[in-house]
Chains A and B, each alone.
Chain A
Amino acid sequence: MTRSNPQVGADGRLKHLLTTEGLPAELVRHILDTADQFVSVGERDVKKVPLLRGKTIFNVFFENSTRTRTTFEIAAKRLSADVINLNVGASSTNKGETLLDTVWNLQAMDADMFVVRHSESGAPHLIARHVKPGVAVINAGDGRHAHPTQGLLDVYTIRHYKKDFSNLTVAIVGDVLHSRVARSQIHALKTLGVPELRVIGPRTLIPAAVDRLGVRVFNDMAEGLKGCDVVIMLRLQNERMNGALLPSAGEFYKCYGLTAEKLALAKSDAIVMHPGPMNRGVEIDSPVADGPQSVIMPQVTFGIAVRMAVMSMLGSA
């Protein structure tokens, strides 16, 4: 049995955005180039373009996330689409409705696009398999699997500051095991040709066989940061901080928290990224998060443009 690519049509155009894995490099570059044109929209007095006028976009969040939902909502509104926000986590599924029933109901309301977040890996794939042709699905984060718009906005940010991917050393630090963000970053960065991609963390938070995805594993942070152009910190979820994977947030900070001292081991012009929301004093120290090498706020701004790019490409199909 062979793997198909459910998100790219026979004509090579984007049908859904489910994962950064398997996206052709050309398509990734096209998304980033399109995003370039949208960055300036946010700087105008009238922050709107009419590209998706008359289209209806459903933000269907089976797992609550105000921040991510808001960024999609802003992106859709700047494209002039009608946006409906649904926190399904708090409604239908509690009444026993299945995931697909929820989607089919919304589809019957003539949705053009679904932005889906779900706590289970693969839920957006399932939805994409069952929507009508012409209806697009954007994965806004599924379980530990993927968060492709985050991965794309991260590579957009890196391209903005570093221009060229072909000589970069990038480190992703922290809870890689549970991180959909890390997976989406890894695939996008490999696709764009980053030659040295590292993951750094204790063995309890590094998934099995991750080297097969083309990354080098470092358990020692000082070792892993040496010579890095980009340092990406991952969020450590509260529930992982004390238990069988980690003894305490304090010990994690000591070993894997990014301090000015540790950052000095990377290249002097290295940039620091974080997908947010940050745990200051756990995975990242405030002086670093707010310091001159941090590009965490630009990531947020670029995130809107990248989501606009993806939505406009899917909505014009």
Chain B
Amino acid sequence: MKTEIRGARVIDPASKRDEKASIFIDGGRIAAIGKAPASFRADETIDANGLVACPGLVDLSARLREPGFEYKATLESEMRAAAAGGVTTLACPPDTDPPLDEPGLVEMLKRRAASLGSVRVHPLGALTVGLKGARLAEMAELTEAGCVGFFQANAPLPALGTLLQAMNYAATFGYTVWLRPQDVSLAAGGVAHEGEVATRLGLAAIPVVAETVALRTIIELAAVTGARVHVARLSSGAGVALVADAKSKGATITCDVGIHHLHLCDRDIGDFDAQCNLAPPLRDPSDRDRLRRALAEGVIDAVCSDHTPIDEDAKQVPFAEAEPGATALELLLPLTLQWGREMKLDLGQTLGAITHRAARILGVPSGTLAAGADADICLFDPARAWVVQAQALASQGKNTPFLGLELTGRVVRTLLNGRTVHGA
């Protein structure tokens, strides 16, 4: 099968390409960009005038809810949502039920995902058995089964002795340890950023120090063990400062931020809007602004959707009882574009945060449009405005604080391995 995508503005953040050109696809790979290879005759021509062609998006965190939470979402629904959002590669956290702590579970997930075939699914294994923080999971076995890293997800961090050995053990094999920096005792019971809003609404608070204390610990242990550590979901300006400092001293850490934290803050909770109950909590506007700058400056390596489809019942409860999280696979592109516009970045710089910069953290070859690469391509209309509506979302989760709001930038077509998996 040979395909030509004609007339698109081709943007490849990794190579800084930004030009109107044709993309020639042969056998699922990109054969050439610009000039057709000799004797190339397209079986299919896609007219992409007015559209941007960029690498299929890479999302560092999307919960697909299988196994165990099929009433919230299924692989089918969420992989459809990924394709509709232009995402062709994603990492899924291990907080399923049971958690991804056994090779058999990971193999089954990989097999199911492969048979559906609309997005590359890279599972993150549980760092500890059952995410309980006590016993290390079988990292080598899990890696063989297809895990690209090991994560505690939103479960409490292991006690320091266990955390140190988890990093030591991962470093033995060169595996990446993913950690969300939050000290469980400092965050105890909290559901909102410690500040005026939590005080006014009478919500139990999570102070910034819950993040910074955990972050200092993680940075210190990463330095001692030499482990590759990825810090997931920074939420505060103080956290950004610690990461920037560690990186300037040569630490081997990377970090990400969730897309909501670039646009929202604690004030958006309004009158107890449970859609704004997120983990980590939405913080002060100054924290949001610092996160936005840090992503542009590269202190934060990538932005992710932190996609968490949740059934309506679990959000139709008082704020503190609501399950934290938001559906976001289909909002990742327009919300990232909005961030880029507001930061006055060019489209290439903007898209870097959801393509090659994210792929580098996963250690996978996705996220670029180079000749020879897999033809994972997102075609989108950067100017098309659309209103976020429940029935328009492919995800089974309709839980988003952006419901009813107008966003700009809409995925028109998504290709995986040269095959159209969304649109047309």
Task: Report which A residues bind B (CB closer than 8 A).
Answer: 1-4, 6, 21, 98-100, 118, 120-123, 125-126, 130, 142-146, 180, 183, 207-210, 212-213
19 additional A-B residue pairs with CB within 8 Å, beyond A1-B270, A122-B203, A208-B195:
A6-B271, A98-B313, A98-B316, A118-B318, A120-B318, A120-B321, A122-B271, A122-B318, A122-B320, A125-B272, A126-B272, A126-B316, A126-B317, A144-B204, A145-B201, A208-B198, A209-B194, A209-B199, A213-B199
Give the chain A neighbours of B313 by CB distance below 8 A: 98
Q: In the complex, A212 Cα to B267 Cα: how many Å?
A: 13
User: Counting CB contacts under 8 A, is B161 at the interface?
Assistant: no
Contact of B318 among A4, A21, A126 (CB under 8 A): A126
Question: How distant is A179 from chain B, measured CB to nearest CB, in Å?
Answer: 9
Number of B residues, CB within 8 Å of A: 25
- The CA-CA distance from A1 to B317 in the complex, in Å, is 21
CB pair A122 B270 closer than 8 Å: no
A130 and B319 alpha carbons, distance in the complex (Å)? 15
B: residues with CB less than 8 A from A are 194-196, 198-205, 207, 268, 270-272, 274, 313, 316-321, 401
* Known interface pairs A1-B268, A183-B200; A121-B318 also in contact (CB < 8 Å): yes
**Beta-carbon contact of B271 and A125 below 8 Å:** yes
CA distance A6 to B273 in the complex (A): 13
Find out whether the CB atom of A3 lies under 8 angstroms from the CB atom of B199.
Answer: no
Give Cα A122 to B316, complex, Å: 12
5 CB contacts below 8 A, A to B, read: A120-B320, A122-B320, A143-B318, A145-B201, A208-B194
Which residue of chain B has its CB nearest to the CB of A100?
B316
Q: How far is the CA of A4 from the CA of B270 in the complex (A)?
A: 8
Minimal beta-carbon separation of A245 from chain B (angstroms): 12
Enumerate chain A residues within 8 angstroms of B272, measured Cβ to Cβ.
121-122, 125-126
Q: Decide if A210 touches B199 in the complex (CB within 8 Å).
A: yes
In the complex, what residues of B have CB within 8 A of residue A2's CB?
A: 270
Chain B nearest CB from A12 CB (Å) reads: 19
* Chain A nearest CB, measured from B62 CB (Å): 25
Most chain B CB within a 10 A radius of its CB, from A3, A121, A123, A144: A121
How long is the Cα–Cα vector from A6 to B201 in the complex, in angstroms? 15
**Assuming A121-B272, A122-B271, is B199 touching A98 (CB within 8 A)?**
no
Interface pair A146/B199, CB less than 8 Å apart: no
Known: A3-B270, A3-B271, A208-B194. A99 touches B317 (CB 8 A): yes
Counting from the closest, the 3 A-B pairs by CB-CB distance are A144-B202, A122-B272, A145-B202
Rounded to whole angstroms, the CA-CA distance of A210 and B197 in the bound complex is 10
Cα A122 to Cα B321 with chains together (Å): 10
Give the shortest distance, in Å, between A203 (CB) and chain B (any CB).
13
Q: Are B319 and A122 in contact (CB under 8 A)?
A: yes
